[in-house]
Chain A
């Protein structure tokens, strides 16, 4: 298949258990002809065994034994489909009680979030929570799908009421691109094909929106940041003096001849060459994986960051972070964790909980310093050495961190630098 608008769009879906998330994904895949015959046969059989009328499209997404038995989604799964316009990656996240942790996992790399609202219930607490997390994670595009329109007789007034409810509360959030689409995932209205039941809706169906959304600006192309992953020293004929810094552009653009500074050492040099996946290139931009060589021999290793001399991140040891706690074990007060920021790893301590967010009311609670699973709170972290950070708002790659428990090695928290 020739793909004309050949970009990759990653999106995540959010909604409570019965909002029809799995059905929507099943419908997208089914109507865009992305389901193979043997897969269809398998779910037709399962649907029959379960006594469903027709094919239960939700069965496409639940792959694990326990998920199929219990009819719930346990963990994030990834689905793929391609249309003549784009390739899509869906992070299919569970909607049940562990929502924060799962949504954060699915959303961290997403260009777009689809938030499902049940047309019969309108904007509920869960909708607000999802919108808040999407806003917190700075997902560039949010699509609110008002689902189950078939159950409210496809009435425009229902759609308008929900749209207004959502706009009122979301004005406080940091979402810049919100769209609304009335759909019926079950019947396929406005998912891939335009609905005949809702002539009052002038916008395009969901797939069209996903295909045409402008995503080239989702990555920061202004601040050149190149975290070094590893150093290439080939020590072989023809490359005896070669010393390449391998990494992936986190943001911005670097060109040969650019004056650069290596953080944290502060040494400066000039970019001599850039090796791309298919040979030498003159410029590298995010998210390209390249190897950079410099005019001068400087001591650079994993964890260092190459930046343009005139545009540097801040080296900070005291960092304010919006933290989402992911683990069953609660945060231990003043305990040390490993902190991972790009390719850099240091030790860190949570010095102070500034406030905790009540995820139900979105109110700030200043007097609560207990951090449990799924909690979101603003904390002050002290690291043993400075990290070269940007704010998450400016840069999703150099503005994010994880905390790792040194005893269990588990990833316990995800953080966004304020």
Chain B
């Protein structure tokens, strides 16, 4: 008799594939929210497996803040070509130009919160009824409350007090006109699981995750990369350090860490000994105790 149980990575993979297929079966026009970060890359990889030998049936949707790492955009375009997938881009710059959102000012200005409007506009414009995201419950305390199938009202809002109960493996994706869903197939992956899985499957990731010599400035307790959007304060100086990023967001707010991890093996090693959470270097989460919850209630993914 063989071994009739799955190890935890296989079980997480199987669960995610099941959910991706449920999304495809229950919705008319679902897309993958693709940011070029490791979680959305992982989702895309799992979608490839879920529908093989068919091509991946979802369009990739990128909410582009305009403040990107150039490598992220190249990675995105290469992947779209490889998959022969459709790419939908929602531009935050357009939302600003149209006067639908107002850009923040000051040293810590970011376009992070502005994404919400652009995302909801794109969902409406393209009649998207389910946006698949790479959110994980271990990331943040508000995310820990997230369902696999997360209902959003016609303003795109999440109501943590009124979530649909989710029982067994039966997912209810019914919605009223104007409402939509977010789906989170890798909810049960932790950061460590993601890296172990990426390593096991040898999934290509942007080189930003690997340690390289980079120009950075020390700000808000982390190394913020030098870019055309960076406004240097008087007491700040640009240094060159061996840096890698644990998460990728806007180039203006993504803090890197000093690291020697320049291979997937070394990343797995490093992450397993980390004493700080992954989002500890995201200044957007440091704004208040409930920053993520507040953004999610407004429609953030």
State the A residues within 8 Å of B (CB): 1, 3, 6-8, 36-39, 42, 63-66, 68, 74-80, 82, 86-87, 89, 101, 104-105, 108-109, 215-216, 219, 221, 229-230, 232-234, 236, 238-239, 242, 244, 246-248, 253, 275, 277-278, 283, 285, 287-289, 291, 302, 326, 338, 340-343, 396-397, 400-402, 404, 409-411, 414
Whether the pair A248, B293 counts as a contact (CB closer than 8 A) is no
In the complex, 12 of the A-B residue pairs with CB atoms within 8 angstroms, ordered by the A residue number, are: A7-B6, A36-B275, A64-B290, A77-B144, A78-B144, A80-B137, A216-B4, A247-B21, A248-B17, A278-B49, A400-B170, A402-B172
Question: Is B275 a contact of A63 with CB atoms below 8 Å?
Answer: no
Residues of B within 8 A of A219 (CB): 5
A375 to B187 Cα, complex, angstroms: 30
Flag whether B138 is at the interface (Cβ < 8 A): yes
Query: Chain A nearest CB: distance from B196 CB in Å?
Result: 9
Q: Does B142 contact A (CB under 8 A)?
A: yes
Contacts of B277 in A (CB 8 A): 36, 38-39
Whether A63 touches B293, Cβ cut-off 8 Å, given contacts A229-B21, A236-B55, A397-B168, is yes
From B17, B21, B52, B164, A410 is in contact (CB under 8 Å) with B164
- Which residue of chain A is the closest to B190 with respect to CB atoms? A80
Q: Which residues of A contact B54 (CB under 8 A)?
A: 232-234, 236, 239
Most buried by A among B6, B13, B294: B6
**Are the C-beta atoms of A80 and B138 separated by less than 8 Å?**
yes
- Flag if B142 contacts A6 (CB, 8 Å): no
B280 touches A64 (CB 8 A): no
Given A65-B293, A277-B49, A402-B170: A229 touches B4 (CB 8 Å cut-off): no
Contacting pair A77 B145 (CB below 8 A): yes
Q: Decide: A87 near B24, CB < 8 A? Known: A76-B145, A108-B167.
A: no
Given contacts A78-B188, A396-B168, contact A239 B53 (CB under 8 A): yes
Chain B residues proximal to chain A, CB less than 8 Å: 2, 4-15, 17-18, 21-22, 24-25, 49-55, 137-138, 140-142, 144-145, 160-161, 163-170, 172, 174-176, 187-188, 190, 192-193, 272, 274-277, 280, 289-290, 293-294
Closest A-chain residue to B174, C-beta based?
Answer: A409
Q: Which chain B residues lie closer than 8 Å to A340 at the CB level?
A: 170, 172
Q: Is the CB of B22 within 8 A of A37?
A: no
Q: How far is the CB of A38 from chain B (nearest CB, A)?
A: 5
B190 contacts A289, CB within 8 Å?
Answer: no
Please state if A79 and B14 are interface contacts (CB–CB under 8 Å). Answer: no
Q: Select from chain A the residue with minimum beta-carbon distance to B49.
A: A277
A36 near B274: Cβ-Cβ < 8 Å: yes
Q: Point out the residues of chain B lying under 8 angstroms from A68, CB to CB.
A: 289
Per the bound structure, the CA–CA distance linking A80 and B142 in Å amounts to 14
Q: Report yes or no: B172 in contact with A108, Cβ–Cβ below 8 A.
A: no
Nearest-neighbour CB distance to chain A for B64, whole angstroms, equals 29
Beta-carbon contact of A291 and B8 below 8 Å:
no
User: Would you give the shortest CB distance from A310 to chain B, in whole angstroms?
Assistant: 19
Smallest beta-carbon distance B204→chain A, Å: 17
Chief secondary structure at chain B's binding surface: loop
Q: Which residues of B contact A244 (CB under 8 A)?
A: 53
Total A-B residue contacts, Cβ distance less than 8 Å: 180
Q: Using Cβ atoms and an 8 Å threshold, which residues of chain A touch B140?
A: 63
Known A39-B277, A105-B165, A409-B172; contact A289-B21, beta-carbon cutoff 8 A? yes
Asked if B14 and A6 sit within 8 Å, CB to CB, the answer is: no
* Residue of B with least CB distance to A238: B53
Closest Cβ–Cβ distance, residue B188 to chain A (whole Å):
6
Decide: A246 near B50, CB < 8 A? Known: A287-B6, A409-B175. yes
Report whether B144 and A66 are in contact in the complex, using a CB–CB cutoff of 8 Å. Answer: no
Binding site secondary structure of chain A: mixed
Q: Which residues of A contact B142 (CB under 8 A)?
A: 63-64
- B165 near A414 with CB under 8 A, answer yes
When the two chains form the complex, which single residue of A248, A283, A402 contacts B14, counting CB atoms closer than 8 Å?
A: A248
Pairwise interchain contact B137-A289, C-beta atoms closer than 8 A = no
Q: Are B18 and A63 in contact (CB under 8 A)?
A: no
In whole angstroms, what is the CA distance A285 to B1 when docked?
13
A289-B18 contact given A77-B144, A246-B50, CB 8 Å threshold: yes
Given contacts A1-B272, A36-B280, A277-B14, contact A7 B53 (CB under 8 A): no
Contact present for A38 and B174 (CB under 8 Å):
no
CA distance A343 to B172 in the complex (A): 10
Partner of B24, one of A230, A291, A404: A230
- A2 to B54, alpha carbons, bound, how many Å? 34
With a cutoff of 8 Å between Cβ atoms, the chain B residues found around residue A283 in the complex are 2
Nearest Cβ on chain B to A47's Cβ, whole angstroms: 13
User: Which of A1, A219, A246, A400 is the most central at the interface, judged by chain B CB atoms within 10 Å of its CB?
Assistant: A246
In the complex, what distance in Å separates the CA atom of A232 from the CA atom of B49? 12
Contacts A38-B276, A409-B172 hold; do A8 and B145 have CB atoms under 8 A apart? no
A414 CA to B164 CA, complexed, in Å = 12
Smallest beta-carbon distance A85→chain B, Å? 11
CB pair A287–B137 under 8 Å, yes or no, is no
- CB of A404 within 8 A of CB of B168, answer no
Q: How far is the CA of A340 from the CA of B11 in the complex (A)?
A: 23
B165 and A66 contact, CB distance less than 8 A: no
Contact of A404 with B144 at beta-carbon distance under 8 Å, contacts A236-B53, A414-B167 already known: no
Report which residue of B52, B168, B190 has the largest number of chain A beta carbons within 10 angstroms of its beta carbon.
Answer: B168
**Contact A101–B165 (Cβ < 8 Å):** yes
Question: Quick check: B12 and A8 within 8 Å, CB to CB?
Answer: yes
Q: Specify which chain B residues have a CB less than 8 angstroms from the CB of A65 in the assembled complex.
A: 289-290, 293-294
Residues on B with C-beta less than 8 A from A288 are 6, 10, 14
How far does the alpha carbon of A340 sit from the alpha carbon of B174 in the complex, in Å? 12
Instruction: Tell me the complex Cα distance, A128–B258, Å.
Output: 53
Shortest Cβ distance from A60 into B: residue? B141
Q: Give CA–CA (A79, B145) in the complex, Å.
A: 9
In the assembled complex, the Cα of A87 lies from the Cα of B192 at a distance in Å of: 11
**Cα–Cα distance between A230 and B272 once the two chains are bound (Å):** 38
5 extra interface residue pairs, beta carbon distance < 8 Å, beyond A8-B11, A232-B52: A65-B289, A86-B8, A105-B165, A291-B52, A411-B166
Contact A82 B192 (CB under 8 A): yes
How many angstroms from the CA of A7 to the CA of B280 in the assembled complex?
A: 29
How far is B18's CA from A410's CA once the two chains are assembled, in angstroms? 22
Distance of A302 Cα from B2 Cα, bound (Å) = 30
